[in-house]
Amino acid sequence: MGNSDWKLPQVKLQLFAAGYCIHPEWVTIRGGKFGRIRIPALFALIDHPEKGYILWDTGYSERFLAATHRFPARLYRMLTPVNYRASESAVNQLRAQGIAPEDIKIVIISHFHADHIAGLKDFPNARFMFVAEAYDGVKGLSGIAALRRAFLPELLPSDLEARSTLISNDRKVELGTESSPFPYAWDVLGDGRLLAVDLPGHADGQIGLFLSTQKRTYFLCADAAWSRKAVEENRPPHPVASLIMPDKTRYRESFERVVDLQRMHPHVRIIPSHCPEVWSWVQGGERL
């Protein structure tokens, strides 16, 4: 990862959107418009040459709608109204490509917000990978306490802990401060193809993921930024967005690292999980 081109051993990548929510733009980017915009719930399919199919998050599913039907969880859907069709679920979009639920071997969870984990129960053979801080931050929460963390416990498989492999420090690799705004990464699978970095603040234990395809290197930055425009123009969210963040100082540090990455390595394509521009690529069928 210290190489100047940051090229990693290749995988294949596809991006999808499993529904979207509606939210005022000014909350997501400083100086944004007062009108509401569509914010997609993106997820990624990674085709690894040895490990097979891997998901990065899952987006929305029917279970999100069921879990937010009654109060207090209903407030989640009221604050961010969701537009979702069953055909848009991760499991159904993958089936349309001939990929059965059982074919997904790993789901990497960027963080435990409901719009990232709503489809976990659809993949019975998958192992779940995340950092301990992410799960520890929500484990055991319910009611208003869970809602304040944008977490819906009903979305977790009952055997999540038994099927989980923590992304731990025994896979830590140094990146060096001169070529990277990130001091270290975790080599998720131990083969150098997927490198995760710490992006806390928006949620406990949130991570981003570096990977390379034949075409270019990508950085899946989860919710460290909500759009590519915000990163390119160094326009973080409005301060009101910090009301849902466990640590606004760490969020600012994470956002600045993503901005620095774009400045230092402009050839690395940054993919925020809720970016309308990236959604337009998905709808246009762009090859990654």
The pLDDT tens digits for 52-76 are 999 999 999 999 999 999 999 999 9
How far apart (Å, rounded) are the C-alpha atoms in residues 135 and 188?
17
Across the chain, the runs of DSSP E, i.e. the strands, are 12-24, 36-48, 52-56, 82-83, 104-108, 127-130, 164-166, 172-174, 184-187, 195-198, 207-212, 217-222, 269-272
The pLDDT tens digits for 245-266 are 999 999 999 999 999 999 999 9
CA 248 to chain centre: 18
pLDDT-based confidence at residue 244 (cuts at 50, 70, 90): confident
pLDDT-based confidence at residue 3 (cuts at 50, 70, 90): very low
How far apart (Å, rounded) are the C-alpha atoms in residues 87 and 93?
7
Rounded average pLDDT over 165-189: 89
The pLDDT tens digits for 94-112 are 999 999 999 999 999 999 9
- In the DSSP assignment, the letter for residue 191 is S
**What pLDDT does 4 receive?**
47
**What pLDDT does 5 receive?**
58
How far apart (Å, rounded) are the C-alpha atoms in residues 128 and 111?
12
CB 218 within 8 A of CB 212: yes
Pick from 267, 268, 266, 264: nearest CA to 179? 264
pLDDT-based confidence at residue 1 (cuts at 50, 70, 90): very low
**What pLDDT does 177 receive?**
65
Q: Residue 178 pLDDT > 90, yes or no?
A: no
The pLDDT tens digits for 132-167 are 999 999 999 999 999 999 999 999 999 999 999 999
Residue 105 neighbours by CB under 8 Å, 6+ apart: 51, 52, 53, 54, 125, 126, 127
Give burial (CB, 10 Å; 0-12/13-18/19+) of 16: buried
Looking from the CA of 232 toward its CB, the CA atoms found within 13 Å total: 12
**What pLDDT does 287 receive?**
87
How far apart (Å, rounded) are the C-alpha atoms in residues 8 and 21?
33
The reply to whether the predicted model has a pTM over 0.75 is: yes
Pick from 196, 123, 125: nearest CA to 166? 196
The mean predicted confidence, pLDDT, of the chain is 95
Q: Residue 189 pLDDT > 90, yes or no?
A: yes
**What pLDDT does 179 receive?**
73
Rounded average pLDDT over 163-180: 87
Q: Tell me the residue type at 104.
A: I
The string of DSSP codes covering 262-288 is: HHH-TTSEEEETT-HHHHHHHHHT---
Structural tokens at position 171:
């896979």
Rounded average pLDDT over 191-209: 97
> Residue 229 to residues 30, 31, 178, 236, 260: CA-CA distances in angstroms?
11, 12, 25, 10, 14
CB 248 within 8 A of CB 261: no
164-166 β-sheet, strand order: 82-83, 12-24, 36-48, 52-56, 104-108, 127-130, 164-166
Percent of the chain with pLDDT over 70: 97
